[in-house]
Amino acid sequence: MNLPFFYIDFLDAQMTAYTLSEETSKHIIQVLRMKIGDCIQLTDGKGNLVTAEIIDDHKKKCVVKKVDFTFLPFQNKKAAIAISLVKNSSRFEWFLEKATEIGVQSIYPLICSRTEKQHFRKERMQTIIISAMLQSKQVWMPVLAEVISFQDFINTNTSEIKYIAHCEEDGEKNTIEKNNNDYTSVMLIGPEGDFTKEEIESAKAKDFKPVSLGINRLRTETAGIVAVTLFNNWY
Amino acid sequence: MNLPFFYIDFLDAQMTAYTLSEETSKHIIQVLRMKIGDCIQLTDGKGNLVTAEIIDDHKKKCVVKKVDFTFLPFQNKKAAIAISLVKNSSRFEWFLEKATEIGVQSIYPLICSRTEKQHFRKERMQTIIISAMLQSKQVWMPVLAEVISFQDFINTNTSEIKYIAHCEEDGEKNTIEKNNNDYTSVMLIGPEGDFTKEEIESAKAKDFKPVSLGINRLRTETAGIVAVTLFNNWY
């Protein structure tokens, strides 16, 4: 995959040509100065990869013709992170970038009792995920869920293996179990100031196991990345 | 440790009072509006922790009296990361912040064949490490080495377990071995564009084992954080 690589929101094995978005067209024609006959690759972030040739180098509505269409199976772990929003958006953006690069299946932005931030610019966050996916040359992108309250999340999540990473003293904590990607996993990551005792108890009642992410007290976004890394390497 | 927590470059069990730096004094007296009789904590990032009481609330030369002196043993893993500088300094700074938070013993900034950045503002980088240490309430900070060339590093490093994380096809790659922190470990992380084949061969000749950090191609700073996380959790 050394051709210039772009995102497109819809790909279909039956289509033979695509008109690219204004932004992508500009990038290809004005920034990269590509011409009719040059090739690019496109993904929809859902495993589809198209190699295509430029047939109209319009700088706002570039048209490409399909040369090859491939579907690549999902290779990352079946792991999700449900993580509190944080006050400083750039820290959350950083989490999204790095989590995408390392590999995660879905991300649920949470509002917990102690979450200070309520506002979430989903469109901007989606853009960050797309560029991290392209940058790391993947054809699958994490599914970014709508913001959800802690209670609604734990009441509705159906993952097979569930963890909660919190900093309260809580007896012997678990470590992430190895599994051969046969099961879906999720980990809850709390806000600055941690989950409340009540939240921890309700999560435990819903079969979320307390887990330790190491001896140091981590910021929310750092804990998120540590969790993604461990999910990716402990299977 | 809920008292305001600061860095001081020198602490000694014999000393009974300390005059704080202008910056720390300003923060304590002007920003936090602390008064004579209020208590703070100080660390030198070498395991020493002093609890002290303000006896002169001068806004540039605050003086504190020792109330308690404790030495806390090093608890993180005996692991080092030798990592190429990257073009965008803020990405390297981010690596330093997160690596400190998660826990690492030493960091060696490397110049490899394909490293584009040569300039390294050590003082600024040191400041980032200090604030990450304070923020995560640690009393040990990673030792930040001077910039060193790849060849000099592999010729002189004496860690007992040595890894190189590279992206070339190289047969079956190793994973990080578990050990009970009895041995010192180091991992080499390459520049954007990876190590050259020659660098990989010379590292292997010096007993650095090729290791995989997962299936995705990671940016330098992301690979560094994944390595720190794995060292901390695979022992």
Last residue of a domain, one of B71, B92, B115: B71
A32 lies in the same domain as A105: no
% of residues, chain A, pLDDT over 90? 82
A159 lies in the same domain as A223: yes
Closest to B126 in 3D by CA, of B85, B97, B83: B97
A99 lies in the same domain as A209: yes
* Interface test mutation site (partner A, options B104, B177, B222, B231, max chain A beta carbons within 10 A): B222
A17 lies in the same domain as A36: yes
Tell me the shortest Cα–Cα distance from B152 to chain A, in angstroms: 30
State the Cα–Cα distance between residues A209 and B43, nearest whole angstrom.
35
pLDDT in tens, A26-69: 999 999 999 999 999 999 999 999 999 999 999 999 999 999 99
Which phi and psi angles does B4 have, rounded to 5°?
Answer: -55, 140
The number of angstroms, rounded, from the C-alpha of B111 to the middle of its chain's C-alpha atoms is 18
B62 lies in the same domain as B122: no
List of chain A residues whose C-beta atoms are within 8 Å of the C-beta of residue B233? 175, 213-214, 226, 230
- pLDDT at res. A77: 85
CATH of the domain at B128: 3.40.1280.10
List of chain A residues whose C-beta atoms are within 8 Å of the C-beta of residue B213? 233
- pLDDT at res. A1: 53
**A69: helix, strand or coil:** strand
pLDDT tens sequence for chain B (235 residues): 589 999 999 998 899 999 999 999 999 999 999 999 999 999 999 999 999 999 999 999 999 999 999 999 998 888 999 999 999 999 999 999 999 999 999 999 999 999 998 889 999 999 999 999 999 999 999 999 999 999 999 999 999 999 999 988 777 777 787 767 778 999 999 999 999 999 999 999 999 999 988 888 899 999 999 999 999 876 5
A61 lies in the same domain as A140: no
CB pairs under 8 A between A and B: 71
Strand-pair partners of B81: B107, B187
Write out the two tokens for A198: 């009540």
Cα dihedral B4→B8→B12→B18 (10° resolution): -80
Q: B159-171: b or e for each residue (b if 16 or more CB lie within 10 Å)?
A: bebbbbbbeeeee
State the Cα–Cα distance between residues A210 and A207, nearest whole angstrom.
9
- pLDDT at res. B1: 53
B86 lies in the same domain as B66: no
**Residue B102 contacts A where some CB pair is shorter than 8 Å:** yes
**Residue A121 contacts B where some CB pair is shorter than 8 Å:** no
Last residue of a domain, one of A20, A41, A71: A71
pLDDT in tens, A158-189: 999 999 999 887 777 777 877 677 789 999 99
A118 lies in the same domain as A225: yes
CB contact under 8 A, A216 and B135: no
**B67: helix, strand or coil:** strand
pLDDT at residue A235 greater than cutoff 60: no
Tell me the shortest Cα–Cα distance from B218 to chain A, in angstroms: 6
CB contact under 8 A, A216 and B136: yes
- pLDDT at res. A168: 81
- pLDDT at res. B183: 86
Tell me the shortest Cα–Cα distance from B64 to chain A, in angstroms: 27
Closest to A227 in 3D by CA, of A188, A193, A174: A188
**Residue A91 contacts B where some CB pair is shorter than 8 Å:** no
Nearest-CB residue to B101 (from A98, A135, A218)? A218
Tell me the shortest Cα–Cα distance from B185 to chain A, in angstroms: 18
State the Cα–Cα distance between residues B234 and B177, nearest whole angstrom.
7
Strand-pair partners of A52: A40, A66
Helix (H) or strand (E) holding A41: strand A39-43
CATH of the domain at B46: 2.40.240.20
DSSP β-ladder status, B148-149 and B106-111 = parallel
- pLDDT at res. B207: 95
Q: What is the ipTM of this complex?
A: 0.88
The mean pLDDT of A12-20, rounded to a whole number, is 93
**Residue A2 contacts B where some CB pair is shorter than 8 Å:** no
Smallest CA–CA distance from B223 into chain A, residue: A102
Angle between helices A89-102 and A122-135 in degrees, nearest 10: 40
pLDDT in tens, A190-219: 999 999 999 999 999 999 999 988 888 899
B55 lies in the same domain as B132: no
Tell me the shortest Cα–Cα distance from A154 to chain B, in angstroms: 26
State the Cα–Cα distance between residues A52 and A38, nearest whole angstrom.
8
Please tell me the total count of domains within chain A: 2
Owner of token pair 């772009």? A6
Last residue of a domain, one of A71, A88, A110: A71
State the Cα–Cα distance between residues B105 and A121, nearest whole angstrom.
37
State the Cα–Cα distance between residues A127 and B202, nearest whole angstrom.
40
CB contact under 8 A, A232 and B214: yes
Residue of A120 and B96 predicted with greater confidence = B96
Q: What is the domain range of residue A31?
A: 5-71
**Residue B235 contacts A where some CB pair is shorter than 8 Å:** no
A143 lies in the same domain as A193: yes
B41 lies in the same domain as B137: no
Contact B17, B64 (CB under 8 A): yes
* Interface test mutation site (partner A, options B2, B226, B230, B231, max chain A beta carbons within 10 A): B226
Q: What is the reported pTM?
A: 0.91
- pLDDT at res. B234: 65
B207 lies in the same domain as B115: yes
Write out the two tokens for B218: 């990671």
State the Cα–Cα distance between residues A29 and B165, nearest whole angstrom.
36
CB contact under 8 A, B219 and A101: yes
Closest to A185 in 3D by CA, of A194, A193, A175: A175
CB contact under 8 A, B226 and A102: yes
**Residue B98 contacts A where some CB pair is shorter than 8 Å:** yes
